[in-house]
Chains A and B, each alone.
Chain A
Amino acid sequence: GENVEQHPSTLSVQEGDSAVIKCTYSDSASNYFPWYKQELGKRPQLIIDIRSNVGEKKDQRIAVTLNKTAKHFSLHITETQPEDSAVYFCAASKGGSYIPTFGRGTSLIVHP
């Protein structure tokens, strides 16, 4: 089955800095890669996603890049703000059942 590795497990940055979280996946058939943000005690919320026919996608301060050959994808957050502090999960899935395999999460801490 699919295996998703996520790094780092914890990331501490100063407000205004950029943050990058990286994930690798094992199943070359995976074609959908969502990123979720989960604040303490809250539900996971989709913040951005990318499909295998696209190499990069941006939404304001958030961007995701995908390298299919290397089977890795990354989340980039620019101009970080304290409210970006949360746990971020990457996931990989393929068409049909769309059952995602999640990474173990990255705890992002943005210091004011």
Chain B
Amino acid sequence: DTGVSQNPRHKITKRGQNVTFRCDPISEHNRLYWYRQTLGQGPEFLTYFQNEAQLEKSRLLSDRFSAERPKGSFSTLEIQRTEQGDSAMYLCASSPAPSTDTQYFGPGTRLTVL
């Protein structure tokens, strides 16, 4: 499968713990986006990278959230001191932008904070 992949697919953690998710984009896609999706809502933008540079962060991304894309390939999203309100599906998407603005989504990581 040459699509966007995400790991783990599911994560259950206790409040206060740290979690880290990984996203592997489609090869040679230089843009990578992170979104959060809660039940009954569309995806909400969190942050995006152009190669290894993090170019924009949403106000939704509190200081407990950090994202990296160290070599311009895979990316990680870390949430520190998780709260119950962090429970959501975390989606990653990649794009060959600026040649096209089409984004391809991964299957997501479902986080449950107990």
Footprint of B on A, CB under 8 Å? 4, 6, 32, 34, 36, 42-46, 49, 89, 91, 93, 95, 97-105
B residues within 8 A CB of A89? Answer: 42-43
Tell me whether A104 and B33 are in contact in the complex, defined as CB-CB below 8 angstroms, given that A43-B106, A44-B105, A99-B48 are known contacts. no
Question: SS class of chain A's interface: helix, strand, loop or mixed?
Answer: strand
User: Is B103's CB under 8 angstroms from A98's CB?
Assistant: yes
Report yes or no: B103 in contact with A46, Cβ–Cβ below 8 A.
yes
The contact sample of 26 A-B pairs, CB cut-off 8 A, is A4-B42, A32-B101, A34-B102, A36-B105, A42-B107, A43-B4, A43-B91, A43-B107, A43-B108, A44-B43, A44-B91, A44-B105, A91-B42, A95-B98, A95-B101, A97-B55, A98-B31, A98-B98, A99-B33, A99-B45, A99-B48, A99-B56, A100-B45, A102-B44, A103-B42, A104-B41
- Chain A contacts for B95, CB-based, 8 A: 98
How many angstroms from the CA of A89 to the CA of B44 in the assembled complex? 12
Q: For residue B108, which residue of chain A has the nearest CB?
A: A43
In the bound complex, residues from chain B placing their C-beta under 8 Å from that of A95 are 98, 101
A97→B48 CA distance, assembly (Å) = 9
Which B residues have a C-beta under 8 Å from some C-beta of A?
Answer: 4, 31, 33, 40-45, 48, 55-56, 91, 95, 97-98, 101-108
Beyond A43-B91, A99-B48, is A105–B40 a contact (Cβ under 8 Å)?
yes
State whether B42 touches A102 (Cβ < 8 A): yes
Name A94's closest neighbour in chain B (CB-CB): B101
- Considering the chains assembled together, what is the distance between the CA atoms of A105 and B40 in angstroms? 7
In the complex, what distance in Å separates the CA atom of A52 from the CA atom of B60? 28
| Chain B CB within 10 A, most for which of A32, A42, A98, A104 | A98
Name B100's closest neighbour in chain A (CB-CB): A98
Cβ distance A21 to chain B, nearest Cβ, rounded Å: 13
Closest to A91 in B: B42
Chain A: minimal CB distance from B102 (Å): 6
Given A43-B106, A43-B107, A44-B91, A93 and B42 contact (CB-CB distance below 8 Å) = no
- Complex contacts, A6 vs chain B, CB 8 Å: 42
